[in-house]
Amino acid sequence: MPHVLVVDDDPAVLATLRSFLEAEHYSVTTVASGIHALQELQCRGRGLPDIVLLDLVMPELGGLETLERVRELAPSMKVVMLSEPERTAEVVQAIKMGAVDYLGKPVSHTELLSSVVLHTSTALNTRTGHRELVEELSPESFFLAASPSMFKVYDQLKRIAEVDVPVLVTGESGTGKEIACLLIHKHSARAQKKFLKVNCAAIPEDLLESELFGFEAGAFTGANHAKPGHFELCDRGTILLDEIAEMPPRLQAKLLQVLQEQKFFRLGSKSAVSVNVRILAATNVDIEDAIRQGKLRLDLYYRLNAFNLTLPPLRERREEVAPLFRHYMKRLAFAYKLPPRPLTESLVRACQQHMWPGNLRELHNFVKRYLVLGDEAAMVAELRPENGAADRVAITRAQTGRGLDLKNLVRGIKEEAEAEAIARALEEANWNRRRAADMLNISYKALIYKSRQYGILLPKVRTEEKVVRVSSDAV
């Protein structure tokens, strides 16, 4: 249950906000002064609140002074200011000091709930009764967790954010590596500085060097004036080097210098440039293969790998498919100015059975098509289990992060044929697994194992599968 600390010198305000928030299933602590709020935050045995609602005008220790002390005690603490509308200048100052929002007095319950839900890291999904975490990172992106594995990832990301060292984020294409890096930046001491992403695979080698490190006038044909690179532009901020294994080895050596010494040379310059940048890296390739093939320098890997975080694919956290669908639908409907489409039971079932080889990116595009076309039957048909065999090849590509070699190709074709045969047998047997196993001449356990292996999720077990077989001798 999210914990809210309310700080206000007006007992009536404290009582009203406590009553409302507790009715919305929040744990609430109220204090009547900034001094008592700081004392509450220092009692770490009770744990820090998820959010602080802080009155701007209070006797003894004012709201701005309290906010400053709160930020010193807990730099990542989310603080929402409560203020009379006419105190605009002080509200602006509070936002500059790190407050995440402000609410005008008298506080609207609708606006209060919206702000608290938006800024608390966890909330109870009233639709399902399950714990669901949604954190906004930018107008276009958010982090969502509704599975044990992603709650663990969230906790790891927040801990990593506090330690100013390089991080290597791995995982299949579309699993949300950039989102994870945005979350690290947001919870770090560099949150107020720039976050910059560079796709190393999308920029040619010569251009990539000048983009990262900059150049002096006359460094090459067409360099008429000096230009700072991304590292200089991102000084005191965070830079994400996406698809790091695609960076040419020569540039990897130069990057290693930045990691070791926090300095580098612009193209055409003899003077070193010093920077203070946190480097995050991401890749979807197999790290061991990349090192073995010489695509990733071993010494660079060790430098980047102060922390290594692997994001699970969507097919391993299927309980998040429906929440993600709803959040994508809400945002896309707003962006396209269309009424949101419903997530029906049949569509939920089809989505949860699908293997999602493209992960979050594929789901996002699927929701976009459904919103625009509005044909639920066609969308369900698109996700039918017989299409899982083709998905398997796409997943193999995603897991390896490269084109299939001969060995992988043979294995992929074999698995594709197996998955297709299993899906067809299950359909012909009306999803009776024992009958399908008999048709395939394999054991029931083997069918269950292979169905799980290929992501072919089944409807509830039919009662006729539980019939005890008897031998002909007993008849």
Please give the pLDDT value at position 467: 36
C-alpha span between 186 and 405 (Å, rounded): 40
Under DSSP, is residue 278 helix (H, G, I), strand (E, B) or coil? strand
On the question of pLDDT at 30 being above 50, the answer is yes
Asked, for residue 475, whether it belongs to a domain, the answer is: no
Considering the chain, what is the average pLDDT of its residues? 82
Asked, for residue 47, whether it belongs to a domain, the answer is yes
Give the whole-number percent of the chain exceeding pLDDT 90.
33
Q: Quick check: is 291 in a domain?
A: yes
Q: Which two tokens stand for residue 361?
A: 């990116």
Residue pLDDT, tens place only, 309-325 = 999 999 999 989 999 99
Query: 161: domain range?
Result: 134-310
What percent of the chain has a predicted confidence (pLDDT) above 70?
84
Is the confidence at residue 403, as pLDDT, over 50? no
Interatomic CA distance for residues 171 and 310, integer angstroms: 5
Residue 128 lies in a domain: no
pLDDT value at 115 more than 90: no
Which of 120, 142, 163 corresponds to the end of one domain? 120
- Whether residue 472 is contained in a domain is answered as no
Residue 474 has a pLDDT of 33
The verdict on 202 and 287 lying in the same domain is yes
pLDDT given for residue 12 in this prediction? 92
Query: What band does 130 get if pLDDT is binned at 50, 70 and 90?
Result: low
- Token code pair at residue 206: 């010569």
Whether residues 226 and 147 share a domain: the answer is yes
239 and 350 in a common domain: no
**155, 161 contact by CB (below 8 A):** no
Is 371 in the same domain as 420?
Answer: no
- What is the mean predicted confidence (pLDDT) over 212-230? 85
Indicate whether 152 and 47 sit together in one domain: no
Pair 279, 231 in one domain? yes
Give CA–CA dist 70/52, Å, rounded.
Answer: 9
User: Mean per-residue pLDDT for 351-368?
Assistant: 92
Residues 20 and 139 placed together within one structural domain of the fold: no
Distance of alpha carbon 287 from alpha carbon 296, whole angstroms = 8
In terms of pLDDT, which residue wins out, 379 or 114? Answer: 379
Q: What is the CATH number of the domain that holds 347?
A: 1.10.8.60
At 398 the pLDDT is: 54
HEC-encoded secondary structure of 14-25: HHHHHHHHHHCC
- 155 and 302 belong to one structural domain: yes
Q: Report how far apart, in Å, the C-alpha atoms of 165 and of each of 168, 204, 257, 332 are.
A: 10, 28, 15, 35
Average pLDDT on 333-357 reads: 88
Does 462 reside within a domain? yes
| 162 and 89 both lie in a single domain | no
Q: What is the per-residue pLDDT across 421-450, written as a single tens digit (0 to 9) for each?
A: 888 788 777 778 888 888 888 888 778 877
Q: What is the mean pLDDT of residues 391-403?
A: 52
Q: Supply the CATH number for residue 240's domain.
A: 3.40.50.300
Same domain for 350 and 295, yes or no, is no
Asked if residue 421 is part of any domain, the answer here is yes
Predicted pLDDT of residue 174: 92
What is the predicted pLDDT for the residue at 399? 53
Q: Flag whether pLDDT at 132 surpasses 80.
A: no
Which of these ranges, 280-289, 392-401, 417-426, has the smallest mean pLDDT?
392-401
What is the rounded distance in angstroms from the CA atom of residue 134 to the CA atom of residue 42? 27
Q: What is the pLDDT of residue 111?
A: 76
Q: What is the 3-state secondary structure (H, E, C) of 129-176?
A: CCEEEEEEEECCEEEEECCHHHHHHHHHHHHHHHCCCCEEEECCCCCC
Shared domain for 393 and 347, answered yes or no, is no
Domain boundary among 253, 276, 310: 310
Q: Which residue has the higher pLDDT, 466 or 449?
A: 449
CATH classification of the domain holding 17: 3.40.50.2300
Structural domains in the chain (count): 4
Give the sheet arrangement for strand 141-145, strand by strand.
Answer: 123-124, 131-138, 141-145
pLDDT of 384 reads: 78
- The verdict on residue 410 lying in a domain is yes
pLDDT at 473 over 50: no
Same-domain pairing of 37 and 75? yes
Most confident of 100-109, 123-132, 354-363, 402-411: 354-363
pLDDT in tens, 76-102: 788 999 988 778 788 888 888 888 888
Residue 404: is its pLDDT beyond 50? Answer: no
Task: Single out the residue in 383, 412, 442 at which a domain terminates.
Answer: 383
Residue 269 — φ and ψ, nearest 5°? -115, 150
